[in-house]
Amino acid sequence: MTSPGLLEILNPGAESATTPSLPAAASEVAGTGQDEALLALFIGVNHQAYLFTSRRLLILRRVKPLVRQLSGRRLIDLTEDSAGLSLPEVFRQTRIKKEIPVEEITWMDAERVYSAGAVIVFARGRRYELTIGHKCAEIAPYVNALRAALGIPLAASGQAMKRDLRMWSLFCCLTGSLTFLLSFVHQGVLEPVWGLALTVIGAGVWFSVEPAMFIILGVGMAWAATMNLLGLNPSLLNKGHLPLGVPLQIYWAVMLFAKYRKYEHLYDPGNTVSASTQIPGRASSLPGLTESPVMPILSSAIGATGLILLGLHFTTIREWPLTAAAMITRGHLYLAVIGLAVGLASCYSRRGQRRAALAGITVNAVTALTLITLLMTKWHHA
């Protein structure tokens, strides 16, 4: 699928030793007033296409005639005219849906969308997604080369990360609030304490924009799937109303952990591209994420609180009314899960106090396993 030009020459000064880049002639054209050069064409499965030139991104529709001419090819390097296309010829066979100057593209990347790969572009405050009938690994070299050619530094992915985290934060807050409120209307169907836990997680993610927050979200999603599989949490998923709910939760958990890997490089210093390939006026880097002991200490503090509450389970709480004891037990369990998630996030965020983070992870994990055992054996009902 690769062709000369976009994927032919390796640039030692680019993002990594394996990231291909444009030939020098094409790089010099990008972002200047010279003649517009064709760079790459991505044809989607939804009868749309992305055409990148040295000046703009063209989102095309009605591309069936173009697909037929190209014999089904979807990833095309145009820097060497390998497809025999010119800009007027493309315009004759397609329609322009949207046109975006390359200076307004804040970030682009290849991403996995369910079983297929997609080209993701952030521009003008919006996210554009084109799903392609190839795997993400096949699309990524083209996208990496284009990103370097257009002067989009790897550190600019922080803007995309912030958008993703804000969306997940709002999702957690809204879902948690609705779960909490509706649990009083439909008692026994939804768990009010879990609604509060979701709201806390969403609020924490909103005020802590960094890659490790995807770990906290992933742990929360994996935990929700585990509780639903074990039938230990009142939920519509346990009532048979949403049979695909648990598989989707597992998928989302995997994707959230993958997003951490995608943005992990933001913890590294010097996430910039060569000045020779950067468009003037485009931001080259983000402020560094400084080390802080807050997260590991918070995880350890939650673990210590969990140990104190665990002692109450063996003395006082078992004597309380059934409903109150059950809610306190689940609340204690969710607190341990949050502490576990924060500890894992602090370990992977390359922050200080690693021993405190590991202590918090251990204590919270033991607490969570103990409480799960109590719930499954119905000990607190005795």
Per-residue pLDDT reduced to its tens digit, 163-193? 889 999 999 999 999 988 887 776 666 778 8
pLDDT of amino acid 238: 53
Backbone φ and ψ for 62, nearest 5 degrees, come out as 55, 55
Predicted local confidence at residue 174, as pLDDT: 94
Residue 150 region, left (φ>0) first, then alpha (ψ -120 to 50), else beta?
alpha
Rounded Cα–Cα distance for residues 203 and 171 (Å): 10
228/199: higher pLDDT: 199
Which residue bears the tokens 């992977």? Answer: 348
**Domain assignments of the chain as residue spans, ordered by start:** 9-152, 159-381
Q: Which of 17-26, 111-120, 309-318 has the lowest mean pLDDT?
A: 17-26
Share of the chain above pLDDT 70, in %: 74
* Structure confidence at residue 239 (pLDDT): 52
Which pLDDT value is given to residue 278? Answer: 46
56-60, 318-322, 349-353: range with highest mean pLDDT: 56-60
33 vs 311: which has the higher pLDDT: 311
pLDDT tier at 20 (50, 70, 90 boundaries)?
A: very low
The predicted pLDDT at position 22 comes to 41
pLDDT reading at 18 higher than 60: no
**pLDDT band at residue 207, thresholds of 50, 70 and 90?**
confident
Does position 51 have pLDDT exceeding 90, yes or no? yes
Q: 78 near 40, Cβ under 8 Å?
A: yes
Go through the chain and tell me how many residues it has.
Answer: 382
For 99-122, the pLDDT digits (tens) are: 999 989 988 988 888 778 899 999
Q: Would you state the pLDDT for residue 13?
A: 38
Residue type, 66: L
Q: Which of the residue ranges 145-149, 218-222, 309-313 has the most confident prediction, judged by mean pLDDT? A: 218-222
* CATH number given to 9-152: 2.30.29
Give me the sheet containing 48-53, strands edge to edge. Answer: 75-77, 38-43, 48-53, 56-61, 95-101
CA distance 244 to 231: 15
pLDDT of residue 219: 93
Most confident of 189-198, 253-262, 302-311: 253-262
pLDDT at 325: 67
Whether 266 contacts 299, CB under 8 Å:
no
Calculate mean pLDDT across residues 323-330: 71
Give the whole-angstrom CA distance, residue 223 versus residue 254: 12
Residue 7 has pLDDT above 80, yes or no: no
